[in-house]
Every structure is written in C-alpha cells, then in structure tokens.
Amino acid sequence: MMDAIYRLAGILESAPPHLAAIPEAEASRRPAPGRWSKKEILGHLIDSASNNHQRIVRTLLVPRVEFPAYAQESWVAVQGYADEPWADLVGLWSALNRHLLHVIRNMGEAAFCHEIAFGGNSPIALSALISGYVNHLEHHLEQISAPSQT
C-alpha cells in the first residue's frame, strides 16, 4: 500500500506544473474523431478521483460496500469538460487528488481489508482499489503527456 501512496504523492509533485504548461489549444484538440481531448481525459481523471473519494470514504465507514458501475463516456459528455478552461480542470484535478492522498494517508491499516464491489462484480479489497486507482491515473497522465496529433 505504501508504494501506491508514494506513487500518488510523486504524481502530485510532478504532474501539476507539467499539466499547467500545456496550452489551451493543445488541451482542446481531439487526436481523432471519437477520441477524447486532453481536457476530456483530465475530466475523466476528475471523475475517477471524485468517484474513488466517495468509494473510499464510504468503505471506511462499513466493512463492505457495493456501488453501481461507472459510465465513463456519459460522465465526460454530460459535464462538458471540452468546454471548460484547462487551468480550471488542472486546479480541480490537483485539489481532488491532494485531498484523496490525505484521506488515504490517514486511513487505519485495518481499513485496507474492507471490501468494495462495483456493478454486481465480485468484491475487492480497498487496498486493491487504491492501487488500481494510481495505475489508472498513471496510464491516463501518460496519454495526456503524449504529443498531440494535428
């Protein structure tokens, strides 16, 4: 679990200045029809942070929780991330993840064994959710860092 915490802390140290340096036009550009722009990818990561905050906090309160599945395409579309200023998205993403890191750092060790399930699937340990969250975050930040196709 400490590995995920260190990785998330490292991301929060390095990613915000890198993200802030991306020009608005580049953040808005879609690499291909039907593909998300950098804004929409970061919006998806905002949704991920928001959803996982709820999941973690609720799972800290009881030993087992079940949540509905997450419809990522719909969430990104209805929130209009493509039309939001890049700087606002970067600030929101940073703030949500700093708070999520704070919550995770303050969890009691016994809570890592609490179980969480999504959309009727088999439950997983809260520690697996957190590790998976950091992996997911790294994957999408790599996509954002990739050079834009014009």
Position 43 in a domain: yes
Q: What is the pLDDT of residues 20-46, one digit of tens each?
A: 999 999 999 999 999 999 999 999 999
What pLDDT, on a 0 to 100 scale, did the predictor assign at position 69? 84
Q: What is the pLDDT of residues 69-118, one digit of tens each?
A: 888 899 999 999 999 999 999 999 999 999 999 999 999 888 999 999 98
What pLDDT, on a 0 to 100 scale, did the predictor assign at position 38? 97
Position 27 in a domain: yes
What pLDDT, on a 0 to 100 scale, did the predictor assign at position 148? 66
Position 47 in a domain: yes
Q: Please give the tally of structural domains in the chain.
A: 1
Per-residue pLDDT band at 12 (split at 50, 70, 90):
very high
Instruction: Show the domain range for 22.
Output: 2-145
Question: CATH code at 110?
Answer: 1.20.120.450
Position 150 in a domain: no
> Does residue 53 contact residue 117 with C-beta atoms inside 8 Å?
no
Contacts of 44 (CB under 8 A, 6+ apart): 36, 72, 75, 76, 81, 140
How many whole angstroms separate alpha carbon 64 and alpha carbon 116?
6
What pLDDT, on a 0 to 100 scale, did the predictor assign at position 150? 45
Pairing verdict, β 124-125 and 64-67: unpaired
